Structure formats: structure tokens, C-alpha cells
Amino acid sequence: MKDASPRAIHLADYNPPSHLVEEVHLTFRLDPEATRVISRIRFVPNPATTGAAFELHGEGLKLIWAKLDGAEMSPTLTDMGLTCAVPDQPFTWEAEVEIAPAQNTALEGLYMSNGMYCTQCEAEGFRKITYYPDRPDVMSIFTVRVEGDAPIMLSNGNPTASGEGFAEWHDPWPKPAYLFALVAGDLVNHPGQFTTMSGREVELNIWVRPGDEGKCAFGMQALIDSMRWDEQVYGREYDLDLFNIVAVDDFNMGAMENKGLNIFNSSCVLASPETSTDTNFERIEAIIAHEYFHNWTGNRITCRDWFQLCLKEGLTVFRDAEFTSDMRSAPVKRIEDVIALRARQFREDNGPLAHPVRPASFVEINNFYTATIYEKGAELIGMLKTLVGDTAYAKALALYFERHDGDAATIEDWLQVFEDVTGRDLTQFKRWYEDAGTPRLKVTEDYADGRFTLHFEQETPRTPGQPDKPPRVIPIKVGLLSATGDEIEPTRVLEMTETRQSFVWDDLAAKPVPSILRGFSAPVILERDTDDAERAFLMAHDTDPFNKWEAGRALALGGLLAMILEGATPDQSYLDAVQTVARDEALDPAFRALALGLPSQDDLAQALHDRGTTPDPQAIWDALETLRQARAQAMQDTATRLYAQHQVTEPYRPDATQSGARALANTALGMITRLDGGAQAQRQYDGADNMTQQLAALSCLLQAGKGEAAQAAFYAQWQSDRLVIDKWFSLQVINADPVQAVAVAKSLTQHADFTMKNPNRFRATLGALAMSPAGFHRADGAGYTLLADWLIKLDPLNPQTTARMCSAFETWRRYDTTRQGLITAELDRILAVPGLSRDTSEMVTRIKG
Ligand code: TRP
Ligand code: ZN
């Protein structure tokens, strides 16, 4: 059990390590109940901290013996691990510890998944494997020997020897302990091969359980594409002779970038047309790229301490987004990312869990792998690139890799390379790293005598611990359109640095229509009083695809808010405009599918809260349903035509073209289902030969209340495929009528295939409930109680996943006092659990505020 009285750690208290590690040798004698880990570590006093006490991290370890320079001794065990007196010069530490991987349900450290040994060390899991200075600024060269009876035994770097019952590995690149990995089990590989830009041959493997070999080809191609892309775009070459990926079923997150041995949640690497949707394929490609890109942004250059997490994560998310934009459609990727940013990061930034991209303190670092660190962190890189321009960005990155290769670096180091390359002062830009909260950007305009002016005002709201915030530099991409829809001048980047600032265009013959914040050039909430006519005009004419989509989104949002707040009927100008876009064959089908998307229930709740009203989850649901029904009726012919036109007849490919066609056809199917009661969806279900088509049809049928037979057939067909059965679990909850959702989720927790030991299955069931607002926020509180019951059950087994899922409650202050009371009662119930983990208690405490 972790420390019962959690204490915060502060960035300001950073101290360099007392000792550096020259090299480390580890021997693992694998055994499910009693694995022995023997370590031999060469320590050197850090010249920067002479005389500092020697302390090693360790958690849940049974120390068998310890030696200092060959002499057995007894260290003093402490809260964090151990300490002992050491010589004032280099020395060798040796120890043997015992751990029980089969008992490790937290999935951190060395654990077992389906009989296979695997590790997860980021952020602070290595200390559950052996005594070590488990901090990212201590980097060392690892040599590993694995002893056991597993047919395949892997670790980082290159294999150096193997034989009956053992395998040895050596990683020549110094790395922090969080990048250590070991995998051992009955695995089969899907091999691949890559020749680097300098002509070196690299052996590639995706390792899976027997039976999953057929689901590796796509991931392998994604890996090869990523390796090529990083050479071409960033000049980054791979640096070992071998690159291994392993798929693991029980995993707390998506994937992990361990040096030369990436470990993936099987849901983020295994793919086949029959079992994966187009969305799954796109996500898998992006995650493989993300982990691969970490080899330079994260591994070769790592983080000095965990406060600098965004240094590797924000940059790597930015890089994987660039990769996806190049592989697929840049506008579609940008729109998808902004939808996700608003849904997850804006939600976080505007609630009790708000924190800066570089936090100043934390209790449990696992709680800071957040949308803010990752997604807002990536937005900051994008803004920096916009501000300095593409050429300077490329120069700065080249300098970053050259100057900091092998370093454990900081955000200051990162910004310094941009300052050195451009001569710019980035002091004001740094506020984006230090202040939490989503800036509100208000804009008004005037036009007289050929002069057009945009007046901007920025304000960043208060967040926990941060009352007032000075203005930050905001890059605002703006275009001007004429009344006939022509571009008056190329997109310009306005650099706003003041609280209030105006920008002027002269000599215009007529009042232009501004297109503001093109490409979503800054992560802000833009507030602009405009009318439906102008939104419809921009939806029809804006040449910036993001703002074209955004105009439609604003139109839909405005109409929905009027329905909720004023009882208005569905907005005709939205219905007309969206129909025009849907029919416009000059537009990418994937874009049209996105344009037909509606704000989510949670988007609407956030928008209502922002406008000072209390959202009613059922009223939000009803308005969305009414609008969807009205739209289906208004677009009947269009939907039928789109559905027919976008049937893919070629063999399945998960590429942008085919998936765009399927996305549009399936959006049309949703409309058709509202009018034909599910006949077309049933035909699609019966004839589907890929998961995208099958799942879309099943969703439609479930929404129409006609899904019972298909749902049973789906289970019968896929019961032996864990990843598909995860979809079966979540789909039933997500597509349930809100009145039923809690009961559906509850009965699924009683299903024979439900297990809380598998995070994917737990999230597919209870995470799905939390993502169905009208059901989750039932007025009687049954949704809150069900989730809290299960979080309480999961916490002793897996604190990390429990804590992450507490964020379902982070929006509680938006709601009415009755719901607030129900939620806080559940939060108090969780907090009162004896022995509650540090992870969960930090989250619940922060959520309560
Ligand atoms: N560094 C990983 C990534 O973003 C994510 C990660 C951090 C992780 N901690 C983890 C993954 C714990 C699994 C478990 O790529
Ligand atoms: Zn990452």
C-alpha cells in the first residue's frame, strides 16, 4: 500500500541526484510468485552534489541481501526505499530482491498478463522491480539477463546471448529506468525490415499471443511509415539493430515507448478489417507513430523530472499529428483533434482538475498523464511553430536534437533553442506552460471608409491556485472574404500580446467577412457575436477547411442552445446549410461526415455552463434527438442518395479515402434508420464483411431499439475475440436509451465476460457509462452510485485506472444542487474508504475542490 498521508512534490524543490549510474546489470529469475531480481549497479558521486545522502527508491520489495563493493551489509529501509553510508568515490552496489508478478494487479512494475511477464515502468514503476534511483535524470547503460522457461524473453536494446532457459540483452544507449522493459512468454512474431537513411538494416518485430498473428500487418506498415517519415521530416534515424513491439491485453494506458521494446495495449496495435473499425486503424497508426517518435523526443532526449512531462508528450503528440496529417487528410485530422481537445482538455481546464501544461506540484505523477499535458502541450508546439514560421521551427528542432541529445532536459532548454534560433524573447509565450485555464478571446469588428478593424480582448479565467493571469501571446490566423466568397488577402497571423488589441486593414472596397482563428491557431474559446446568416455564409464559402467546419458547428450549437433554453424548433438555416455541404461533391466525404456531426452532450453542457445556466442532461439529450429527427426528415432524399453513392465496392482498405466514404455513408445510415425503423441497417448488418460496417449497423439498430437479435448474433460471432467483445460491451451502454443506460451497464457488470482486472473491459463498461451523460447523470443518482461502487472495488487492485476514471465526476459543479449533492456524497463515500490509494485520494480531493 502506498503512503497514507500523501505529500505534494514541488518543481521548485528540484535537486540533482546525489549519485550517477555508470552501468547497471540486472538478472531476473522469473517465477510468478517469487521472481528474484539481482542487481549490480556502478555508482559515481555526482560532482554537482558532493556529500549528498545516498538513497534508493524501492516499493513492495523483499530484500534478500545487499552488498557494497562486494561486502554484505544491511541498509536502512525507509518510506521511499532505503539508504546507507557509502564511500566518497565510485562504488558497486549489489542486491537481490523478491517480487510476485502474479500478484501485481496494479499493472505497474513487473506483472503478468495471460501467463506472460511484462513490465510498465513509467513513471515510477521501476522501483517496484528493484532498488534504484528511479528518476529520469539518472541515465545509465543497462545489461539484462533473463532466466526462465518462457520461449521468448525480451528486453531493451540488442540481444547478446541466449540459450536453454536464458536470454541476455544489452542496450548501448543510456536511459532512465522508466524506459526499462522486459517481456517473457509464449509469443509469436510478425517480422519486418527497415533500411535506414544511412543504409543500416533494422530488424522489426511485432510480438503477439499465438492466434493474433493475423492482426499485425497493418501495425508493421505503420511502423515502417513512421520510421521513414521521421527521417524525411525531422532527419531522425533509428539507432539500434532491432525494434520490437509487444501486444499486451492488460495495460493501463495506450502504449509505452520503452527503448527498442515498445509495449502496447493490444487494442492499440492489433488490427484486421474484420475486427477493427476505420477509427481503430487510424488510432493504431497514430499510436505506433507516437511511440516510435518518442525514440528521439523522450528517449534520446528525456525529461529532467516529471514536471517536464510535456517536453516529451506535447512534442510527440504534435509530431504524431503531423504524421497523420501527411498520411491522411490534414483538415480532417485537425478537425478531429479540435473536437477531442474541446471534449477532454477544455473540460479539464475549466473544472477542478485544471492544471498548467507544466504543473508546479503534484502528489501522484500518474494522475498527470492528462489531456492538458498531452493535447494542450501539443497545441503549444503548434502555436510556437505558427509564431516562428516553418523554417525557424525546423532550425530550432535541429538545434534541439544536436544540443540536447543524451540530456534530461527542461522546458527552459526547449524554449532556449527557439530563442537562440529566432532571437525572439519567449518570456510571454512561457505563460502558456505556467498558467492553467482556457483563455476567452472576444472579438468585435467595425468597418468605415475602407478601414476594417478587428478588436480583440483576452481573458484567462481563474483556476485552482491561480487567481489572476496576465495576457499571453496568441497567434490568431485571420483571412478576409468578400461578399461573394473570394479571398481578399492570404491568411495573416495576428500576434496578440496585450489584453486588448486591435488590428486594421485599409483600402477595402467593401466590408469583408472575417474568418478568425483559422486552423484553430490557438487553444482558446472564441466569443463572437454574429448571426446565422454569416455562419451559413462561412460554412458555404470559407476557404479554410477548419473554419468552414467550425461555422457549421457554431450554427448547430446556436440552434441547439435555442432549443434547450427557449424551446425553439430546429433551426432552418442550420438544416439548409448542412444539407448544402452534405451534397457538395467537391468536398471530401470525410469532411462532409464531420460537418454532419453534432456537438456532443458534454459540449452542450459546457456551453450552457459557460453561459451561466445549469445544464439539464435530459433536456440536452431531448434537443439532440429532436434535431436529429428533424434533420433526418429534412434530408431524406439526400441521405438515401449519399448512402448509395458512398458504398465501397473495392476490397477493404483502411485508408483515408475509403474510410471517408464509409463515414459519410454510415452518417447517412443513421438518418435513414430514423425513418425506416432499421430495415436498411439490418441489411447492412447482415451483409457486412468488415467491422466498420458491422458496428455502424449495430449502433443504428440499437438506437432504433431494434438491436436485440443483432446484438446476440454479434456476441455469438465474436465471443472469442476480447477486443471485439470490448466493443460489444461499450456499444450497448452508449446506444442505450438514457433511462436504461445504468441498468444496462449494471447488468453487463454481471456478465460472465466482465472482469475488473482488465482495464479495457472495465472502461468499456463503466467508462462507457460515464461517457453517456444523460444516462450517467440520471436525476436519482443511480449512475453516480454504480460508478462509485465499482471505483471502490477497483481501487485496491488498480489505483491508476481507478484514479483516471474519477474524472467522470470532474464536471459536478456545472449541475443543479440536487445532482451536486448526490455526486459529492459519492465522492465522500470514496474518500472514506480505508486504505484508499494515493492516486484516487488525490483525484477525489482535487475534484471536490
Ligand atoms: N509514455 C506513454 C506514452 O505517452 C504513456 C504512459 C505513461 C503509460 N505512463 C504509462 C502507458 C503507464 C502505460 C502505463 O506514450
Ligand atoms: Zn507519449
Q: Which of 256, 258, 317, 839 to mutate to test the pocket of ligand 1 (most atoms within 8 A of CB)?
A: 256
pLDDT of residue 4: 44
Atom 3 in ligand 1: residue holding the nearest Cα = 256
Atom 10 in ligand 1: residue holding the nearest Cα = 122
Q: Which of 369, 372, 801 to mutate to test the pocket of ligand 1 (most atoms within 8 A of CB)?
A: 369
pLDDT of residue 524: 98
Atom 13 in ligand 1: residue holding the nearest Cα = 253
Residue 309 C-beta-side C-alpha neighbours within 13 Å: 27
Closest ligand, as measured to the CA of 254:
1
Are the C-beta atoms of 241 and 158 separated by less than 8 Å?
yes
Other residues' Cβ atoms within 10 Å of the Cβ of residue 487:
16
Q: Which CATH architecture has domain 440-522?
A: Sandwich (2.60)
Closest ligand, as measured to the CA of 798:
1
Pinpoint the alpha helices (H) of 175-245.
Answer: 217-234
Distance (Å) from CA 25 to ligand 1 centroid: 24
Atom in ligand 1 nearest the alpha carbon of residue 291: 15
Ion ligand 2: residues, CB < 5 A: 313, 316
- Domain 719-849: give its CATH code: 1.25.50.10
Are the C-beta atoms of 459 and 440 separated by less than 8 Å?
yes
Separation of alpha carbons 728 and 736, rounded Å: 12
Distance (Å) from CA 600 to ligand 2 centroid: 27
pLDDT of residue 428: 98
Positive or negative torsion for Cα 380, 382, 385, 388: negative
Nine-digit cell string for 440: 476567452
- In the chain, which stretches have pLDDT less than 50? 1-4
Nine-digit cell string for 654: 483502411
Q: Which CATH architecture has domain 302-434?
A: Orthogonal Bundle (1.10)
Distance (Å) from CA 260 to ligand 1 centroid: 15
Pinpoint the alpha helices (H) of 341-457.
Answer: 347-349, 371, 377-388, 390-404, 411-422, 431-434
Q: Which of 104, 105, 108, 120 to mutate to test the pocket of ligand 1 (most atoms within 8 A of CB)?
A: 120
pLDDT of residue 355: 98
Other residues' Cβ atoms within 10 Å of the Cβ of residue 829:
16
Are the C-beta atoms of 805 and 789 separated by less than 8 Å?
no
Q: Which of 108, 113, 119, 122 to mutate to test the pocket of ligand 1 (most atoms within 8 A of CB)?
A: 122
Distance (Å) from CA 298 to ligand 2 centroid: 8
Work out the angle at residue 473's Cα, subtended by the Cα atoms of residues 470 and 478, and round it to the nearest 5 degrees: 135
Question: For 233-260, how does the pLDDT look when each residue is reduced to its tens digit (9 = 90+)?
Answer: 999 999 999 999 999 999 999 999 999 9
Atom in ligand 1 nearest the alpha carbon of residue 122: 9
Atom 2 in ligand 1: residue holding the nearest Cα = 256
Closest CA to 844 of 804, 789, 785, 794: 804
Q: Which residues contact 845 (CB under 8 A, 6 or more apart)?
A: 831
> What does the H/E/C string look like for 608-674?
HHHCCCCCCHHHHHHHHHHHHHHHHHHCHHHHHHHHHHCCCCCCCCCCHHHHHHHHHHHHHHHHHHH
Atom 5 in ligand 1: residue holding the nearest Cα = 256
Distance (Å) from CA 342 to ligand 2 centroid: 20
Within 6 A (CB) of ligand 1 lie 120, 122-123, 252-253, 255-257, 290-291, 313, 369
Do the domains at 440-522 and 719-849 have one common CATH topology?
A: no
Question: In what helix (H) or strand (E) does residue 256 lie, and over which residues does it extend?
Answer: strand 255-256
Question: For 712-761, how does the pLDDT look when each residue is reduced to its tens digit (9 = 90+)?
Answer: 999 999 999 999 999 999 999 999 999 999 999 999 999 999 999 999 99
Are the C-beta atoms of 549 and 591 separated by less than 8 Å?
yes
* Overall fold of domain 187-300: Zincin-like (3.30.2010)
Question: In what helix (H) or strand (E) does residue 440 lie, and over which residues does it extend?
Answer: strand 440-448
Distance (Å) from CA 611 to ligand 1 centroid: 36
Domain residue limits, the chain: 1-103+116-171, 187-300, 302-434, 440-522, 719-849
Output the CA–CA distances (angstroms, integers) from residue 705 to 407, 735, 736, in the order listed.
Answer: 57, 9, 8
Atom 6 in ligand 1: residue holding the nearest Cα = 256
291 is catalytic: yes
Strands 81-83 and 76-77: antiparallel
Separation of alpha carbons 256 and 181, rounded Å: 9
Atom in ligand 1 nearest the alpha carbon of residue 123: 9
Nine-digit cell string for 572: 432552418
Q: Which residues contact 143 (CB under 8 A, 6 or more apart)?
A: 23, 24, 25, 26, 160, 168, 169, 170, 171
Q: Which of 147, 285, 291, 375 is catalytic?
A: 291
The size of the chain, in residues, is 849
Q: Which residues contact 566 (CB under 8 A, 6 or more apart)?
A: none
Are the C-beta atoms of 241 and 201 separated by less than 8 Å?
yes
Distance (Å) from CA 730 to ligand 2 centroid: 25
Atom in ligand 1 nearest the alpha carbon of residue 125: 12
User: What CATH homologous superfamily does 1-103+116-171 map to?
Assistant: tricorn interacting facor f3 domain (2.60.40.1730)
Separation of alpha carbons 613 and 326, rounded Å: 41
Atom 15 in ligand 1: residue holding the nearest Cα = 256
pLDDT of residue 5: 53
Other residues' Cβ atoms within 10 Å of the Cβ of residue 103:
12
Are the C-beta atoms of 309 and 373 separated by less than 8 Å?
yes
- Type of residue numbered 738: P
Are the C-beta atoms of 776 and 770 separated by less than 8 Å?
yes
Separation of alpha carbons 849 and 846, rounded Å: 5
Distance (Å) from CA 7 to ligand 2 centroid: 26
* Strand, coil or helix: 468: coil
Atom 9 in ligand 1: residue holding the nearest Cα = 122
- Type of residue numbered 714: F
